[in-house]
């Protein structure tokens, strides 16, 4: 976990919400605030709603390599699955 930061987690959650990959109990795309609150509670992380939205705005406005964490995650998964 030392390799990854809260920002990395928020990047992943932002990507999942933007792709509408997470749905709520009514079958609709899950609200970003609810996703962040649920994940931060389960992982026992302190992430306020305002900081999550601020970070999401920064992530969405990055012009160069906006998905740095996802690239790193992909590389880690590929490295760990080599046979």
31 C-beta neighbours (distance < 10 Å), count:
12
pLDDT of residue 2: 62
For the chain, give every domain's residue range: 6-80
Residue 76 CA to residue 50 CA, distance in Å, equals 30
pLDDT of residue 42: 95
pLDDT of residue 29: 96
Residue 4 CA to residue 25 CA, distance in Å, equals 29
Model-wide pTM > 0.85:
no
Name which of 34, 42, 47, 41 is nearest 8 in CA terms.
47
pLDDT along the chain (83 residues), means of 10: 79 91 95 95 94 91 72 77 63
């Amino acid at each position: 976990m030392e390799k990854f930061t809260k920002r990395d987690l928020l990047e992943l959650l932002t990507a999942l919400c933007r792709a509408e990959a997470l749905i709520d109990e009514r079958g609709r795309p899950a609200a970003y605030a609810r996703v962040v609150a649920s994940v931060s509670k389960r992982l026992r992380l302190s992430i306020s709603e305002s900081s999550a939205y601020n970070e999401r705005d920064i992530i969405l406005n990055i012009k160069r390599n906006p998905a740095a964490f996802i690239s790193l995650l992909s590389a880690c998964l590929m490295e760990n699955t080599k046979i």
